[in-house]
Structure 1
Amino acid sequence: MTSERWPTELRLAKDKRTLSIAFNDGTAFDLPAEYLRVTSPSAEVQGHSPAERKTVPGKRNVEIIGVEPVGNYAVKLVFDDMHDTGIFSWDYLHKLGIEHEEKWQSYLDDLAAKGLSRDR
């Protein structure tokens, strides 16, 4: 699968808590590490079907400690909790940017419904 959307800039903030990405279509996003960790496209988080999707608590202070290219279509993010199995395609990162508010609220709602916290 190829994308016509390509990143023109990808930058990890000095505090390792925000990944900034700009695309050739003019869109740009600052994506928090916590948001990226809890929406990781990995099987550990997403499961193998929507029914298996996990709500990951306790990641408020997570940092990104590595950004590794995967071919010319994605990056693998390494988090300080050692999660490193998600491959973030350019399309997926763009979608996370576009849908940030909606996805973040859904995550917060899931935490509340399950009695979980961003801190533990």
Structure 2
Amino acid sequence: MGQRIPDEIRLSDAGAVLHLIYGPGEAYALPAEYLRVLTPSAEARGHGGQGGQTVSGKAGVRIAGVEPVGNYALKLIFDDGHATGLYTWDYLRELSLDQEAHWRAYLEDLAAQGLSR
């Protein structure tokens, strides 16, 4: 099964939500905060999977821009200046399908480290 590219990509609520529509009956609404804190950049993931840190304090962040990167990813530009994560189609699909589990794990990480949204 190859990568799935959304038929439509749009922002709503002044950049607070990114919508990915794959076809009739298959649409996902991803909050900007969720996408920002789960950035695929080295900030959160570290280099080579080591040294990443939990991103906190992003409850009010918005997506200021969306740029395609070739045929494989989106570059999301956030209003806090972050623009280095490339969200591949596969990663966006994973974030869409497993949103509840990813968010719960993020909130648990925040609590364990004494950080806030």
Say whether the fold is shared (TM-score over 0.5). yes
Query: Per-residue deviation at 1:21?
Result: 0.2
Q: Matched residues in 1 for 2:105 and 2:96: separation?
A: 15
Amino acid corresponding to residue 48 of structure 1 in structure 2 = H
- For the 8 Å contact 2:74–2:86, the answer to whether it is kept is yes
Root-mean-square deviation over aligned CA pairs: 1.8
Q: Matched residues in 2 for 1:115 and 1:103: separation?
A: 18
- For the 8 Å contact 1:5–1:24, the answer to whether it is kept is no
Q: TM-score, normalised by structure 2?
A: 0.92
Q: Matched residues in 1 for 2:100 and 2:37: separation?
A: 14
Query: Per-residue deviation at 1:14?
Result: 3.8
Q: Matched residues in 2 for 1:27 and 1:52: separation?
A: 35
Which is richer in strand?
Answer: 2
- For the 8 Å contact 1:6–1:24, the answer to whether it is kept is no
After superposition, the C-alpha distances for 1:59-117 in whole angstroms (9 at most, x for unaligned) are 00000001011011111000011000000111110100111000000000000000000
Name stretches of at least 5 consecutive residues in structure 2 with no aligned partner: none
Task: Give the aligned partner of residue 37 of structure 1.
Answer: 36
Q: Matched residues in 2 for 1:99 and 1:53: separation?
A: 21
After superposition, the C-alpha distances for 1:27-77 in whole angstroms (9 at most, x for unaligned) are 321000000000010111111244423111100000000101101111100
- For the 8 Å contact 1:34–1:62, the answer to whether it is kept is yes
- The 5-angstrom pairing of residues 34-73 of structure 1 reads 34-73=33-72
How many residues are paired up? Answer: 117
- For the 8 Å contact 2:6–2:20, the answer to whether it is kept is yes
Q: Matched residues in 1 for 2:92 and 2:37: separation?
A: 13
Task: Give the aligned partner of residue 105 of structure 2.
Answer: 106
- For the 8 Å contact 2:6–2:21, the answer to whether it is kept is yes
Three-state SS of the structure 2 residue aligned to 1:44 is helix
After superposition, the C-alpha distances for 1:2-45 in whole angstroms (9 at most, x for unaligned) are x4412101001142100000225963210000000000101111
Of stretches 52-61 and 41-50 in structure 1, the one that deviates more from structure 2 is 41-50
